Amino acid sequence: MIASNMDIAARLLHPAVQALLLALCSTAFVLCRRPRAACALAAIALVWIWLAATPALALRLRDGLVAGAAETSRHADAIVVLGGGKLPVGDWSHTTTRAGMGLSLWRAGWAPLVLVSGSDQAMDLAQGFGHSGMPDGDLRIEATSRNTHENARNSAAILKAEGLRHVLLVTSAVHMRRAAGCFRHEGIEVTPVAADDRHALLAAAPPWIPTRGALTLTARALHEYVALWIYERRQWI
């Protein structure tokens, strides 16, 4: 239920959907012969979709979510890789994905164990790591969690059962603030390690020229801010 509600919220928070809803309301006012209200809503829709698609706004929203999502300089008891991101295509060693970052950290010896978490991708991640040379003894699988809260709760139970307290947490930069907060709430020491953020390329783009990538980032950031608010109210972080 929580996961489905979050999916619905994510769709409604997309600026394109919001602009469409405003446009529909504007059309309704036209039919009701209220031209001023119709023009006002149409203008708001156009301004919002333009603003949401600008790198300036998208990166500003992103910056509030990625604090602490830097690469590690400390060894840990385990590496936790959260599902939900894109799986690598071909070479699993590229750090542009969560899986690639987790595999690279393990190969570099930053932690002896890797725990993969998430009902959507845990088994695929485990299979990919196995094919990339990771022995079964170095891998732990948590394949029942349906959201970030359950990722942290279920993973913490596995980690604590083995006496593991400090993890390198691998997820996307935008997701890191919420994910790290959930794991810390469960009593796990977290060193955030964000997978390379493809949205960082927007920093070199003209700040006020709309792009599809900026619109996608704005939508993701809005979803995360609402999710943070919900998680704080539920005392999950």
Q: Which CATH class is domain 78-197?
A: alpha beta
pTM for this one?
0.87
Comparing CA positions, the residue from 139, 131, 136, 135 lying closest to residue 90 is 131
- Mean of pLDDT values over 95-102: 88
The upper half-sphere exposure of residue 132, i.e. CA atoms within 13 Å in the direction of its Cβ, equals: 23
Q: What is the pLDDT of residues 47-82, one digit of tens each?
A: 999 999 999 999 999 988 875 555 556 799 999 999
The number of angstroms, rounded, from the C-alpha of 115 to the middle of its chain's C-alpha atoms is 18
Read off the pLDDT band of 12 (50, 70, 90). confident
What amino acid occupies position 172? Answer: S
What amino acid occupies position 185? Answer: H
The number of angstroms, rounded, from the C-alpha of 231 to the middle of its chain's C-alpha atoms is 14
Q: What is the pLDDT of residues 175-229, one digit of tens each?
A: 999 999 999 999 999 999 988 666 767 888 999 999 999 999 999 999 999 999 9
Per-domain boundaries in the chain = 2-65+211-233, 78-197
The number of angstroms, rounded, from the C-alpha of 140 to the middle of its chain's C-alpha atoms is 22
Indicate whether 117 pLDDT > 90. yes
In whole numbers, what is the pLDDT of the chain averaged over residues? 89
